[in-house]
Amino acid sequence: MSRTKSILPWVVWGTAVALYSIAIINRSSLSALGPAAQHHFDIDASVLATFPVIQLIVYAACQIPVGMLLDRFGPSVLIIIGAVMMGLGQVAMALVSDVNIAILARILVGAGDACTFICVMRMVPEWFHPRQIPTVSQLTGLVGQAGQLISVTPLALVVSVFGWATGFLGIVAVGLLFTILGFFVLRDAPGSRTLLERVTGKTGGITERSARIGSTPATAVMAVPPATEMIPVIGGSRRRKQARDGNPKEGFIGRMRRLLSIPGVRAAFWIHFVSPYAANTFLLLWGTPFLMGGLGLSAPVAGGLLSITVVSSMLSGLIMGPVSSRFVERRVWVVIGITLLIAVTWSAVIFWQGIPPQWLIIALLIIIPLGGPASMVAFEVARSHTPRSFAGLSTGTVNTGGFIATIIAVMSIGVVLDLQGAGSPSTYSLDAFQLAFAVQIPIWVLGLVMVIIESRRTKRWMQTHGRTLR
């Protein structure tokens, strides 16, 4: 049974990515509900920004610990645990009106969300051929964005018609169904048991037959940690093996130091830092307030325009996978080009005198989500340079990049709005939003400079060590 001809990899991946899509719904459930949340909890812009900021801080802070747990326990367990945590958080969000409890609920959502994406990405190389990995990775992002699409318009419609609690409890119900399915279906790798089989101690025929899908792991490992002053690689094969696979007794600091000594991993971090945060900032919170309070659009029109960004992200994901796979040597420059395009388009909106023309707003909504699929290149770069035993830690570390940038941007925009006295739906204005969104410019500058610096260091490191990308 070949890996490509078996349907089981797609069943496992499909279940995992469905849970990831639900995680996206949970993560972005306030994206089209900003004004509704302000009225529901009676809060201003800074407090509203606190919801996604705290959620993202928890998400980012959990990435590295989750990465280490992923290397130890495997992705299936963490995906299910994450789904349960998000469900509990959304139940609390549905039933409370106290803002402090709601913040605790978003903490649960952030922690559960942190367990999902990097675990799904960790499954991909175990189930698919290396040539398929870039395309399947982009498909993962594309299907995940379907969750974003649901949270933009349908959820807002349900909340407006049936109420706040019904909308959030509906998300919980769907998540519970797929969590139960995951308990029966998810397997870390070919031959691995499902969670149900682990609990019962019995191994089913499907699991036994799946071991024949592939006898060797598909993870594309190109490099080992280099010999540096911090990581001497001398003294025989045992020391070299530890440099490649890591000492099981080695502490967190030692593992992180060895991982970050690889310039390709650092380059991947900055790629993820600079490419997706503008779309995250817009879709997670500030898109609807800007379109309604800044441009004066109605709620249905704003929701429809936000849907354009999600569709654009999904379509661009179909293109980025083959591009990343075919143009491996130039994939970083593709990300740089996309990021520059986003920055230039946003700058045009920020510095436009008066209300920007409709064509420019449409262009913005089509272009900014390109950063999401572009950010997936970061995981391909990290995978090309990371030893397999560090895969989870590496994925978690890289994934913090975009969310650190998003946290900075989301909170800064809220603070700048409040400083201008424009921190509530009744005081929003276009000029205030244009100034607030300008906080993104230095983030772009920092991220692009660091991507170029670390990419050049990576190229020199590869030449020194005789490495080539594959």
Residue 329's CB: how many other CB atoms inside 10 A?
9
Mean pLDDT for the stretch of residues 367-373: 88
pLDDT band per the 50, 70, 90 thresholds, residue 5? low
Q: What is the pLDDT of residue 227?
A: 31
66 vs 339, higher pLDDT: 339
Total number of domains constituting the chain = 1
**CATH classification of the domain holding 152:** 1.20.1250.20
Q: What is the pLDDT of residue 245?
A: 47
Q: Kindly report the average pLDDT of the chain as a whole number.
A: 81
Q: What is the pLDDT of residue 4?
A: 42
Examine residue 366 and state whether it is found in any structural domain, yes or no: yes
Cα separation values, 441 from 58, 107, 262, 397, Å = 25, 28, 28, 24
Q: What is the pLDDT of residue 26?
A: 86
48 touches 31 (CB < 8 A) = no
Q: What is the pLDDT of residue 395?
A: 80
34 vs 289, higher pLDDT: 289
Q: What is the pLDDT of residue 435?
A: 94
Examine residue 240 and state whether it is found in any structural domain, yes or no: no
Q: What is the pLDDT of residue 376?
A: 83
What's the CA gap between 30 and 347, in Å, rounded?
Answer: 26
Domain of residue 205 covers 8-223+262-465
* pLDDT over threshold 70, residue 234: no
Examine residue 246 and state whether it is found in any structural domain, yes or no: no
pLDDT in tens, 37-54: 777 787 777 777 778 788
Q: What is the pLDDT of residue 441?
A: 95
pTM for the full predicted model: 0.68
Mean pLDDT for the stretch of residues 253-274: 87
Q: What is the pLDDT of residue 336?
A: 93
Angle (CA) 398 123 75, round 5°: 80
Examine residue 248 and state whether it is found in any structural domain, yes or no: no
Percent of the chain with pLDDT over 90: 27
SS3 assignment, position 186: coil
Examine residue 243 and state whether it is found in any structural domain, yes or no: no
Count how many residues are written for the chain: 470
pLDDT band per the 50, 70, 90 thresholds, residue 91? very high
pLDDT band per the 50, 70, 90 thresholds, residue 190? confident
Mean pLDDT for the stretch of residues 313-335: 77
Examine residue 429 and state whether it is found in any structural domain, yes or no: yes
143 vs 268, higher pLDDT: 268
Examine residue 420 and state whether it is found in any structural domain, yes or no: yes
What's the CA gap between 253 and 442, in Å, rounded?
Answer: 30
Which candidate, 156, 176, 196, 167, places its Cα nearest to that of 112? 176
Structure tokens at 138: 């982009």
What's the CA gap between 460 and 263, in Å, rounded?
Answer: 9
Q: What is the pLDDT of residue 253?
A: 79
* pLDDT over threshold 80, residue 92: yes
Q: What is the pLDDT of residue 19?
A: 93
Examine residue 19 and state whether it is found in any structural domain, yes or no: yes
Q: What's the farthest any 2 CA atoms get from each other in the chain?
A: 70
Element housing 332 (H / E): helix 331-351
pLDDT in tens, 270-319: 999 999 899 888 887 788 889 988 998 887 888 788 878 878 877 877 77
